[in-house]
Structure 1
């Protein structure tokens, strides 16, 4: 089991909302979560995060800020690096991996079926952009 991240996701934050996706396929089929995926050979974890957002949503991201790392799955197959940013360009064009997507605020997330621990991850992501 490597301690280096082998998957990445990104919280795209806009005006106290986050862009969540509903996965169309396993793993995590039919669950709401952050867009992201597995690292490819030769990539840094930040490059993985940016590529996954481009592939899944058609957006270009910049200014990625690390939020946290966590193990995923009962067998801890994936060490996920979560990033957050308010910096992105382009129009959302979801890939076939995405069954649905939407900009949601904290209250809307409560009633959704999400990946484990998503609420805590989102609170940490939102905290990076809190205005004093």
Structure 2
């Protein structure tokens, strides 16, 4: 995964919500000629994947409700992440489900109508751990 795009009617509001959730500010923004924020982008996770917030008017296949594929973000603590998302106003889409040993998924609908998947994934964590540089003593 390189980039995922979520859509919002108010990109400024969505950008601020995701900044609170992620604990980082968007690193890139683009406005329309009339000055309305149309796109904000975050770099997150072990591989600095891109999370883009796009003004809904640019959505190719609009929907009246949550729709589309669900991209799951690996998290260290699923319960704490779900509690934080709920506290920020996200609504449960799918309760945590054990998919196999070390694989648990859940999803929420953010305040802007996007499905946000989160999961614990032992395979992902093992690959990420292998790619981390060793910690040198000292």
What TM-score, normalized by structure 2, do the two folds share?
Answer: 0.25
Larger RCO: Structure 1 or Structure 2 (Cα < 8 Å, ≥ 6 residues apart)? 1
What TM-score, normalized by structure 1, do the two folds share?
Answer: 0.26
Give 1 or 2: higher helix fraction: 2
| The structure with more radius of gyration | 2
